[in-house]
Structure 1
Amino acid sequence: MKCFLLFCLVGTSLALNKVQLGGLKKLLKNLDSGVFPTCQLVLFSEMVDYDTAEKNCQNFDIGMGDAQKGHLATVNDDGKNSDLKLLLQMAYPYKGKSQKWAADHWVWAGLRKTKNNDGSKKSKKYNAEDWSWAADGSSPKEFHKWMKHQPDQRTDKKNGVKYLQNQMRINHQGIWDDTFKYKTHPYACDYQGKYIISASSETWSQAKASCEAAGLELAKVRSDAEVKEIIKSADYFLGSKADGLKLWDKENWIWLGGTDEEEEGEWKWVDGSPIEYYKNMNWRNPNPDNAEYIKNQAQHYLAISRDGQFDDSFDHRSRHRAFACQCPGT
Structure 2
Amino acid sequence: MKFFLLLCLVGTSLAIDKAQLHGLKNLLTNLHSGVFTTCQLVLFSEMVDYDTAEKNCQNFNIGMGDVQGHLATVNDSEKNSDLKLLLNMAYPYKGWKNQWAADQWVWAGLRKTKNNDGSDTSMKYKPEDWSWAADETSPKEFHKWMRKQPDQKPEIRRNGVTLLQNQMRINHKGHWDDTFKYKKHPYACDYQGKYIISANSKTWSQSKAECEAAGLELAKVRSDAEVEEIIKSADYFLGSKADSVKVWDKENWIWLGGTDEEEEGVWKWVDGSPIDKKIMNWRNPNPDNAEFIKDHAEHYLAISRDGQFDDSFDHRSRHRAFACQCPGT
Normalization by structure 1: what TM-score?
0.96
Superposition deviation, residue 122 in structure 1: 4.3
**Residue of structure 2 equivalent to 1:88:** 87
Relative distance call for 1:40 and 1:320 in structure 2 (3 A) is same
Segment drifting more, 223-232 vs 4-13 = 4-13
**Residue of structure 2 equivalent to 1:118:** 117
Q: Residues 105-127 of structure 1: CA distance to partner in whole angstroms, max 9, x if unpaired?
A: 00000000111111123464210
- Matches of 2:94 and 2:157 in 1, distance apart? 28
* 1:194 maps onto 2:194 in alignment: yes
| Contact 1:114 1:132 (C-alpha < 8 Å) held by counterparts | yes
Superposition deviation, residue 159 in structure 1: 6.2
- Matches of 1:216 and 1:280 in 2, distance apart? 23
| Contact 1:199 1:323 (C-alpha < 8 Å) held by counterparts | yes
Amino acid at match of 1:13: S
- Matches of 1:280 and 1:16 in 2, distance apart? 33
- Matches of 1:155 and 1:281 in 2, distance apart? 59
Pairwise mapping of residues 280-319 of structure 1 onto structure 2 (< 5 A)?
280-319=279-318
Superposition deviation, residue 34 in structure 1: 2.3
- Matches of 1:309 and 1:85 in 2, distance apart? 38
Normalization by structure 2: what TM-score?
0.96
Relative distance call for 1:215 and 1:147 in structure 2 (3 A) is same
1:137 is paired with a residue of what secondary structure?
Answer: coil
Amino acid at match of 1:281: M
Amino acid at match of 2:45: S
Amino acid at match of 1:101: W
1:293 is paired with a residue of what secondary structure?
Answer: coil
Amino acid at match of 1:118: D
Structure 1 segments of 4+ aligned residues over 6 angstroms from their partners: none
Superposition deviation, residue 83 in structure 1: 1.8
Superposition deviation, residue 4 in structure 1: 2.0
Superposition deviation, residue 274 in structure 1: 0.6
| Contact 1:7 1:197 (C-alpha < 8 Å) held by counterparts | no
Pairwise mapping of residues 1-330 of structure 1 onto structure 2 (< 5 A)?
1-10=1-10, 12-65=12-65, 67-122=66-121, 124-158=123-157, 160=159, 161-276=161-276, 278-330=277-329
- Matches of 2:182 and 2:222 in 1, distance apart? 43
Relative distance call for 1:159 and 1:188 in structure 2 (3 A) is farther
| Contact 1:42 1:190 (C-alpha < 8 Å) held by counterparts | yes
- Matches of 2:262 and 2:249 in 1, distance apart? 28
- Matches of 1:251 and 1:210 in 2, distance apart? 19
| Contact 1:88 1:105 (C-alpha < 8 Å) held by counterparts | yes
| Contact 2:115 2:129 (C-alpha < 8 Å) held by counterparts | yes
- Matches of 1:101 and 1:70 in 2, distance apart? 28
Relative distance call for 1:152 and 1:267 in structure 2 (3 A) is same
Superposition deviation, residue 8 in structure 1: 2.7
- Matches of 2:278 and 2:137 in 1, distance apart? 45
- Matches of 1:27 and 1:158 in 2, distance apart? 46
- Matches of 2:201 and 2:245 in 1, distance apart? 17
5+ long unaligned stretches in structure 2: none
Superposition deviation, residue 11 in structure 1: 5.8
- Matches of 2:11 and 2:17 in 1, distance apart? 14
Superposition deviation, residue 2 in structure 1: 3.9
- Matches of 1:87 and 1:40 in 2, distance apart? 11
